[in-house]
Structure 1
Amino acid sequence: MEPKVSIIIPFYNCSYIDQAIQSALDQTYKNIEVIVVDDGSTIFTEKIEPFLEQIRYLRKENGGTATALNHGIRAATGEYIAWLSSDDYFLPEKISKQISFMISHQAEASFTNYDCIDNKDQLLIPWNGKRFTDIKEVYHTFLLYNAINGCTVIIKKVIFEKVGYFNSYHRYTHDYEMWLRLLVNGYKIYYLDEVLTKFRQHEESGTSRFQPEMLKDILTIETHYRPILRKIVENL
């Protein structure tokens, strides 16, 4: 039987939430559960109502994306976790192709490439992520910048039980901190060279609105992890 995959969709006042949910439900891979974590939204909640019989809907007080992800992961019953932002969407074969890749490579964590789109679903930048040739290149790139879009990742749930959950202190860079934490703890993050996610760029996104806060967080994270990662890279 195919392993179960839990797709976690953190949601906070996002007008694109219905597109995200529909893309999760449209997966060709059938052994999934879709968990929408409402992080204290005050608008656009009506867009979830048509899907309530097909998803698991969890509501909590507002605490940020990391807390919403952690809430969903703890509630998840799948062996694997996929994260989908409420303003992005998956292509239909996303889960099927990535799980097949992970099983064939005995991978506990993986990521893919992605397209950038605008607020009208128009393509802005195809293949926006770096394309990797091997796992060593992933390590080397993380000495320079965050090479992974979080919504392209699938990861075994058991890993969170071993290394911990997303750090809510890093409100806008919790994903970067997590990937570095995995790498320095010996978890390889494998790259599948396919575009399986559409990443939306728009004025209301956290990436657009909180650049100063993100840059401050990034400096803190890199100061802590890069010396450790550099020693690992030297021994690869």
Structure 2
Amino acid sequence: MKVSIIIPFYNCPFVDQAIKSALNQTYKNIEVIVVDDGSTQHMEKIEPFKNRIRYIRKANGGTASALNTGIRHATGKYFAWLSSDDMFVTNKIERQLAFMKQVGALVSYTAFTTIDANNKAINQIHSRSMSRSRLIKLLLTGCPINGCTVMADMDLIEKAGMFDESFKYAQDYEMWCRLTLHTSIFYLDELLVLYRVHNSMGSVKHAGGIVNETERVKSKYKKLFFLDLRKKKRK
């Protein structure tokens, strides 16, 4: 089964490392789609890979719009998101796909390692397996899921809808909440992503916007989750 790895790119100096990590996967039935969201810098870092990836350039519209563009052009059965400043461990796709087949998951996420600008490991971040109702309660307090650890069935995304482009910073959090209304999200406790922490990362530059949008997501899904859980109890 083909996996579409989508890399949104906007002026990121680490993009070549992200692309390498995607192309070097042990699981070979993949396509790597780099969506250039109107960059003005570091495009030359993509040039050496253009014969091995699908490169799409578009006007700047934000991460959600770049992800949606990648999804529209994807031909894989599964979706995986890789930020242009992060990296996949070489067996990420292989291990996660095998896990999802084993447990019958339509979407899953994993543990990850934080790294600095020089690729030095900083910390290991683990979650834990939990019931759908427990995850819903956790989602109402914030986002426990790192987007670059997620793999999802494309049919599920088609059913639930694309990333909401009205969210510039919390589009991932909103999506995971939405997917939880359709299915359980499974957790694989393996360190399969290298998540880069640096001064120019989006979560640092746009901290205020993230806080505001996080509150929008909580407000939106508090009632939806309550109604969903009540409906499940009645069955």
TM over 0.5: yes
Q: Distance in 2 between matches of 1:187 and 1:222?
A: 19
1:208 corresponds to which of 160, 180, 204: 204
| Deviation larger for 158-167 or 128-137 | 128-137
Tell me the TM-score normalized by structure 2: 0.95
Structure-2 change in CA distance of 1:93 and 1:135 (3 Å): farther
How many percent of aligned residue pairs carry the same amino acid? 47
1:167 corresponds to which of 161, 164, 168: 164
1:183 aligns with 2:177: no
The answer (yes or no) to whether the contact 1:80–1:156 under 8 Å persists in 2 is yes
Q: Distance in 1 between matches of 2:128 and 2:210?
A: 24
| Structure 2 match to 1:132 | 129
> How much has 1:134 moved relative to structure 2?
4.4
The answer (yes or no) to whether the contact 2:4–2:76 under 8 Å persists in 1 is yes
1:21 aligns with 2:10: no
| Structure 2 match to 1:112 | 110
| Deviation larger for 47-56 or 117-126 | 117-126
RMSD value over aligned CA atoms?
1.3
The answer (yes or no) to whether the contact 1:70–1:165 under 8 Å persists in 2 is yes
> How much has 1:136 moved relative to structure 2?
4.2
Q: Distance in 2 between matches of 1:133 and 1:169?
A: 30
> How much has 1:233 moved relative to structure 2?
4.5
> How much has 1:45 moved relative to structure 2?
0.4
2:90 corresponds to which of 85, 89, 92: 92
- The 5 Å alignment of 1:20-99 reads 20-99=18-97
Letter in 2 for 1:155: A
Question: Cα deviations across residues 181-233 of structure 1 (Å, max 9, x unaligned)?
Answer: 1112x211111111100111111111000111111111111011022223444
Residue ranges of structure 2 left out of the alignment (5+ in a row): none
- The 5 Å alignment of 1:143-154 reads 143-154=140-151
Residue ranges of structure 1 left out of the alignment (5+ in a row): none
Q: Distance in 2 between matches of 1:137 and 1:193?
A: 17
| Structure 1 match to 2:101 | 103
> How much has 1:163 moved relative to structure 2?
1.5
Q: Distance in 2 between matches of 1:61 and 1:159?
A: 27
Q: Distance in 2 between matches of 1:178 and 1:63?
A: 17
Runs of 4+ in structure 1 deviating by more than 3 angstroms, as ranges, are: 133-137, 230-236
Q: Distance in 1 between matches of 2:134 and 2:123?
A: 22
Question: Cα deviations across residues 56-110 of structure 1 (Å, max 9, x unaligned)?
Answer: 0010001001000000000000000000000000000000000001111111111
1:222 corresponds to which of 218, 225, 232: 218
Tell me the TM-score normalized by structure 1: 0.94
